[in-house]
Structure formats: structure tokens, C-alpha cells
Chain A
Amino acid sequence: MLAVQGLTRRFGGLTAVDRIDLAVEPGTLVSVIGPNGAGKTTLFNLIAGQDRPDAGRVALDGRDATGFSPERMARLGLARTFQHGRVFANLSVIENVLVGAHTRLRPGGPLREVMGALFRGGAEAPELREQALAVLARFGDRLLPRLDQPAFSLSYANRRRVEIARALMLRPRLLLLDEPTAGMNQTETAEMLALVRDLKAAGLTILLIEHKLDMVMQLSERVVVLDDGRRIAEGAPEAVRHDPRVVEAYLGASAVGRVPA
């Protein structure tokens, strides 16, 4: 589904992403791990269009998508979340999720869209709202009781959930999750794990950045390890876990031989 070849991004003298290759097969979950500053988020930005690569290619379904704008990638069925959670602060929970449906509404030309909004108003709302509620129901009663609260009033964990709900509302074919459990406690992390597992079971293709390695081990078909912008290991979770280069990157040279937590 997603194929990345030789992707490179330099910031001044620093090469944040250095000739990365990556392939994600349909229906699988691939995790990208690595220490802070390894280039994981930059890689996501290059794939999803927030940033343009200096070299290399991105292909979606075998078709070139290098340097496409984020909105074009979204129309091609790619949805993503952001590392620190980006919600629309003054929009309510349900409105945030409804914005996620943007690519599925076909308003026609700009004039037609304005006229449609003037004369049909919120006519598309009922079924769209049902869909949004169904997406929100995936998070149990975390978000459903807070439908009309502005996003700025939510807890950090709930904002992350809203962001994921917004991404799901796009009905993506490929979902990029950037540290979905950051700042979550054990219970919340377990909930997130169950949610991602459900999404995967439903056939969604997922690329995941995550620091909590037990989650990565449980969910991933394959794991890609980055360090200093380079890919230092790739393979099945168990194989990667015991790779000495990975252990070294995470814990430093002296820790080689021990198993990371």
C-alpha cells in the first residue's frame, strides 16, 4: 500500500531522515520506533505531506505521491494524528470529528459549495452526525458525554482521542498514528491498545510511532527502527527486540547484551 524509497530530509547541516526505505502491506501494522530525535515524526511529515523530501520517493498503491500536499494525501485516503495532538481548540468535540469527514463530502465548485451551504445549510448533518457518533463510541464513554464541549476544555488524553476520531472519520485506507499513548496512564494505554487492535482487525492499514514497546510488540507485523535519521533495523518484532544495534541505540553501548524493557 505504502512504499517509501530513499527518503531524505536535511535541515541545514543535519540529516533528519537519511535514505529511509519502508513498505507497508495492506492490512498490516508497521511500527516505527527509535530514540527521541531519531527522525520518526519527520518521516511521518514527509509521507503525509507536511514537509517535502530533499530526495527519495513516496508511493501510495504503486502510484507516485512524492511531495504531494497534505490535503491531496488526505483525499487519497491517508489520515494522520500529530505527536502533541492538534485539535481545533474552539470547536466542539463533535465538530472536530465532523471536520474529519471533509474529503468525503463532494461539494462541487466553490460557488456551488457556498450556495449549498446557504440554501441547504446543515442538510448533510443527520447521517454524518450518526457516523461521527459511531466513531466516538469506539472510545466508550470517554468522549460521548462531552460532545458539545470545546476541545480546549478536554484533558490531554481526550484530545488525543478526538484527534484519532477525526482521523477515523476520514475513513482512511492508511492511518498514521504518532505516539497515540503519549501522556496516557496504564488503563488508558490498554484502552488505546484495544482500539488499535480493533482497527487492525477491521482491516485498516496502520503505520505507528510508539515508545511503549510492549504495545509495539503486541500489535506490529513488522518494526522499523530509526536512529539518527537512519534505519538501523527492520523485521519481525521479536527479531528487532533482540537486535544488538537496537539495544545500543536505545540504552547505549554498555547495555548491549541485556534485553530492553
Chain B
Amino acid sequence: MTWSSAFDYAVNGLIVGNIYALLAVGLALIFGVSHLINFAHGSVYTVGAYVGWAAITYLHTPLPVTVAIVLAVCALLGMAIERIGLRPLAGSARIAPLLATIGISLVLDQLVQLLASPDPRAVPAEVPDWRLAVGGGTIGALDLLIAAIGLISAAVLFGFLRWSRLGWAVRATAQDRDAARQMGVDVDAVNSTVFAIASALGGLSGLLVGMYYNHIDPGMSFQATLKGVVALVIGGMGNIPGAIAGSLLLGLTESFGVAFFGSSYRNLFAFVLLLLILLLRPEGLFSRGRSTPPEPLTGTFVAPSRPVLVPAWAIPAAGALFALLPFLVTTPYVLQVLANAWLYGLLALSLTLVAGTVGLVSLGHAGLLAIGAYASALLAMDRGVPVPLAVLGAGLITAVLGTLLTAPTFRLRGHYLSIATLGLGEIVALVILNWESLTRGPLGLFGIPPLAIGDLALDGVRETYWTALALLVAAAMLQQRLLASHLGRTWRAIREDDVAARASGVALFRYKAMAFAVSGFVAGVAGAVTAHMYSYINHETFTSQISVLALTMVILGGLGNVAGAVIGSVALISIPELLRASAEYRALLYGLTLLLLIRFRPQGALGTV
């Protein structure tokens, strides 16, 4: 690397870091006052980018007007998010607002996609085209503009928090919400203001990114949220200067990482950094000393509920009934949809065990599917292992790998665990993308052998249906048995109150590891069967959207509820088919379902077990 290219990489890193900072500052502000990681933040950023694009393209607005429009629209959007998605959830389980923001994010992304089409757009940068030569490298007008906007935003924000009455109220609320309320601070107004400011900055960030890369698309929001969250975690949750420093550090790390290793590694650095910080310095790089341990909490993770009891025989009975369906229904389409639902049912069973029964809300469960799918496909293709053994082996490999990967996160709680597992899910996909010698990298795996037991081919529509159904019924019955045993009781006790569970002699690590092993086995088998059914998979087959969909199924059915997980997956897979919804509307429907569930029926259809 020469000096001039090093300079260019540094400038690029700082510019990208500046953009991340606009995102991360908003996340930090929101986390500060409401202890919430706003997963809709990236969607606001996307909306900002599209509003800017629309203004420039259709209204031919000059830059200052474009910026003003973006700020105003996104501020309003932020206030709407706070008002609709979060304020009604005050007092509900701590994870509820986080899940609500995921729902809002799905809805916003799909609306953008429906209004502006999924195709990428070019955003003209409304700045002159010159570049300054500085010490061998160059800096363009746009670079300077982004740096200036970053600095101005930081200064205005600092002044607002430091000298305005409302700024004081924001800081007071961040320190002690109840005390602030007691002193007459209108906490709702503070929240609303904070969401407005944060979203305005997020939208501006989207516009600048659009200009910088001259490219926007509706899929950009998820990565943006993740990058903002990574910067937030590096800087220390809720720490605004920390978020700015964390963003610049992240930008530089990515820029030089790409320089040395290539662009497909870009995100890997971000997520590895995220995990390292979460595990080694969960309070962030810039906070002084360790904070005092929190008082043991008496609150519980899930809302109290009285579950609907499904008798033990109901699952095999329902399985037997559905096994008869292929004799009654002749349309392959129905069987295909249901077979898909059975496979999602396996995933939901796997997730409801860790997220529902043990209370570890994993947002990266699709990573386990991917491990299982690749393990089985590679065993069958490269080692010539017969398919049934490959599927079994994939289950075992996923159980071991999944447990090893998640084990370091077992000491994290609540939101931190969710972010860490989200990062892990992304890391799995990125490792698959980059480990070309094993996984064929971006090409994916072609020609995965179809399902078969010996000479008995199971790749027909009916056979696939029966295979998936049999696996689902078996997994559901076994999981019921686990839940009815002392082991199940111990898992639920950990979810309800880990301090009390430990005082009764429960070793948390052991039981969390056992839950992830069982969960990994089931997810691995589900992924493996999917791979043999599809015959082609790549690193994008199992996206984080699948993780979120599985979580929605789990919540719909009731946390930890075995019958509920199956009902949730059947409902969310088959209802969009009944409505003949296209892919965009389907995701919109999932987002709305998640939002409405959290708002009106957090215990799900059958209740928490």
C-alpha cells in the first residue's frame, strides 16, 4: 500500500465513518432516553435517501432544499414511529419495543419497495466535481460536504443538549426517567423530540450515502441499522461522543480491511468487531471502569399468561390427519405450501426452545439453518455420504457448531444477546461467502442430491410433504417430552429469573448450552432437508429476514409453546398464499403481524408455556 492510497483509504474510512456517525448518534440518543435499540433506524435512513432522490429527480431541488425536505420528512416519520410503535408499549416486556421496531422496519422497507420499485436508483450528487490534491491523495467536494454536515450536526446537537431547556429534559430523562417525570418533565414529548432528531439525522445520512455511492436501493436499510448498532456498541450504548468515535473507528476499520482483504470482507470486520466488543467490553470502549452491578431485577422477561393446554396426544393425532391430506388433495401447490410450512415449523420449534423456553431471543437463527444446509449438502456432495446420514450428521454438526458459536454470548442478557446473535447470523453468511475452498463462495452449491432413503426417492411432492411432516411431528413430540421433564422446568426457570435459578443450583451455562444444542440439531435438520429439496443453495438462501419471520411465528404461537410454534408457522406460510400475496406484500404482512401481536397479544395465540 502506497502513501497516497493509504491516504485515500483513510479519507474514505473517515467519510464513511461520518455517515455511520449520523446513524449512530440517533441510535445513541434513542437508547439514552428509552433504553431501546431502534431497529427501524435503517429504514428511516432508506426513507431519507428515497425522499432526497425523489426531491432531486422530480422537483429539481437545490441541495439545501433537498436537505431540508429530508430532515423534515424523517423527523415526522420518527415522531410517528415513537407515537404508534413505542408509546403504547410502555410497561410491557423489555423485549417488546425492540421487536416492535423490527416490525416497523419491515413495514417501512416494504412500503419503500412498493412505492419506488425494488430497482436501485442513482442519486445525483449536487456538488461540484472538483477534487483537491492533498499530500498525494485527493479529497472531493462531496467528502468535504459530508465532513461539514457531520461536524455541524454534532455541534448543533451538543448545543441543544447543553443549553436548551428541552435538551436538559432529554438529559434528565436519560439519567432517570421516573425522577424526570416527577419533576414535571413531559417524558412523552422528550421521547418524541429525540425520535424526531435521531430520525432526521438518520435520513440525512441516507441521503449522503446515496450521493456518495450514487446508488440507493430498498434493501440498504438492514445493513445500515447493523452498522449503526455496531458503532453504538463500540462507543458504549447511549454514549453520544462514543457513538461518533465508534463510527469513525468502524469506518476506518472497514476501509482498510477492504483494502487488504477485498470488499466481500467489509461486513465481516464490522460484525467481528461487534462481537468482540460485546464479549470483552460490553460497556463500550470509552466508558470509564466497570459499572456497578445492577440490583437483581424482580421483573420477568415475558408477560404473565395462562397457556392453552394442548393434550399430548393432539400432536400425533393432528400429524396423522395431515398425513392423509395428500390422498384427498390433488393439487400439488397445496402440498408444496404445507411442506414449506412444516419445514418452517421445525425452525420455529428450534427457535421457540431458545427464545421462548429459555428466554434467549436469538435474532440469528437462520445462521443455524445455513450451517445445517451446507453441512448436509457438502457431506453428500463431497464425501458421498447417503442423504439420510448427511441430514443426521448436519443436525449434529449444527448442534455442536451452534453451541460453540453462541456459547460466548451466554453471559449477555436481553438486548445484548439479541444483537450478538444477529451479528453471529451475519457472520455465518459472510464466512460461507468467503470460505470458497469449502463452500464454493458466491457461486453457491449446485446439484445437491435430492431426498432419498436408499433407493426410495423422496423428491416427489407427496414424499417431500410426508418427510417434512414426519420430521416435524417427531420433533414436536420430543420437544414436548423435554418440556415436561425437569430439564424443561429448569429452562423455564432460567427464563423467569436467572438469579433465583442459580440460587437453586442451576448452572446457567450448562443449561443454555444444552438448549442451543437441541435447538441447533433441529434447525440443522431443517436446513439440511431444505438444501436437498432446493438442490441449490448459496450464502443468501438463509437471510436474517428468515430469522425475523421465525421469531414472528414463535411470538404468534406463544413463547415456548410447541403447538403454538407449529400453528404460527402454518399461519404465516399459508395465509399469504391464500391471499395470493406477492413477495413485497408478504413481507409487509409479516411486519404488520409482528407489530399487532406485540401491541395487542404479546402472549401469542396459545400463550407462553
Contacts and interface: CB of A to CB of B under 8 A. Distances in A.
Interface in B542-592: none
A114 B505 contact: no
B185 interface: no
8 contacts: A12-B292, A89-B496, A102-B504, A103-B504, A118-B485, A121-B481, A150-B304, A150-B306
A117 B488 contact: yes
A103 B505 contact: yes
Contacts of B608: 90
A99 B478 contact: no
B517 A110 contact: yes
A89 B494 CA distance: 11
A88 interface: yes
B490 interface: yes
Contacts of B298: 84-86
Interface in B497-527: 497, 499-508, 510, 513-514, 517-518
A32 interface: no
A11 B292 contact: yes
Contacts of A107: 486-487
Contacts of B300: 89-90, 152
Q: Point out which of B293, B489, B504 has the most chain A C-beta atoms below 10 A from its C-beta.
A: B504
Given A50-B296, A110-B513, A124-B486, A99 B503 contact: no
B482 interface: yes
Nearest to A11: B292
B506 A110 contact: no
Nearest to B293: A51
Interface in A13-37: none
Nearest to B304: A152
Nearest to B559: A90
B127 to A, nearest CB: 50
Given A105-B486, A170-B505, A91 B492 contact: yes
A198 to B, nearest CB: 22
Nearest to B503: A70
A75 B493 CA distance: 17
A71 B482 contact: no
A126 to B, nearest CB: 13
A113 B517 CA distance: 12
A170 B488 contact: no
Given A69-B502, A101-B486, A170-B505, 9 more contacts: A49-B502, A79-B504, A86-B500, A88-B493, A90-B302, A98-B486, A99-B504, A103-B504, A114-B482
Nearest to B492: A91
B305 interface: yes
B59 interface: no
Q: Point out which of A99, A101, A118 has the most chain B C-beta atoms below 10 A from its C-beta.
A: A99
A89 B304 contact: yes
A89 to B, nearest CB: 4
A101 B490 CA distance: 10
A69 B499 CA distance: 11
Question: Which 8 A-B pairs give the minimum distances between C-beta atoms?
Answer: A74-B505, A103-B505, A117-B485, A88-B496, A86-B500, A152-B304, A117-B487, A70-B502
Interface of A: 11-12, 48-51, 69-71, 74-75, 79-80, 82, 84-91, 95-96, 98-103, 105, 107, 110, 113-114, 116-118, 120-122, 124, 150, 152-153, 163, 166, 170
Interface string B66-93: 0000000000000000000000000000
Contacts of A79: 503-504
B484 interface: yes
Q: Point out which of B478, B486, B497, B513 has the most chain A C-beta atoms below 10 A from its C-beta.
A: B486
Nearest to A74: B505
Nearest to A48: B503
A99 B490 contact: yes
Contact of B504 (A50, A113, A166): A166
Contacts, number: 128
A79 B478 CA distance: 33
B468 to A, nearest CB: 21
A86 B497 CA distance: 7
Interface residues of B, number: 40
Given A71-B506, A89-B300, A166-B504, A95 B489 contact: yes
Given A71-B502, A102-B504, A170-B504, A90 B485 contact: no
Nearest to B506: A102
Given A86-B499, A98-B489, A102-B506, A118 B482 contact: yes
Contacts of A90: 300, 302, 304-305, 492, 495-496, 608
B514 A88 contact: no
Nearest to A113: B487
B505 A71 contact: yes
Interface string B461-485: 0000000000000000010011011
A100 B510 CA distance: 17
A101 B503 CA distance: 11
B605 to A, nearest CB: 16
Nearest to B300: A89
A116 B517 CA distance: 15
A166 B310 CA distance: 27
B489 to A, nearest CB: 6
Contact of B484 (A49, A121, A153): A121
Nearest to B560: A90
A51 B292 CA distance: 11
Given A74-B503, A90-B300, A114-B518, A99 B493 contact: yes
Contact of A80 (B305, B482, B489, B503): B503
Nearest to B487: A117
Given A114-B518, A117-B482, A150-B306, A88 B492 contact: yes
Contacts of A48: 503
B497 A87 contact: yes
Contacts of B510: 110
Nearest to A52: B293
Given A110-B514, A124-B486, A50 B499 contact: yes
A100 B513 CA distance: 21
B490 A102 contact: yes
Q: Point out which of A50, A84, A118, A166 has the most chain B C-beta atoms below 10 A from its C-beta.
A: A118
B49 to A, nearest CB: 43
A117 B481 contact: yes
A45 B305 CA distance: 31
A203 to B, nearest CB: 21
B414 to A, nearest CB: 16
Nearest to A85: B298
Nearest to A149: B306
Contact of A118 (B481, B486, B502): B481
Contacts of A96: 493
Contacts of B492: 88, 90-91, 95
Contact of B507 (A71, A85, A91, A166): A71
A82 to B, nearest CB: 7
Contacts of A69: 502, 507
Contacts of A88: 492-493, 496-497, 500-501
B505 A91 contact: no
A49 B394 CA distance: 40
Nearest to B305: A90
Given A110-B517, A114-B487, A150-B304, A75 B496 contact: no
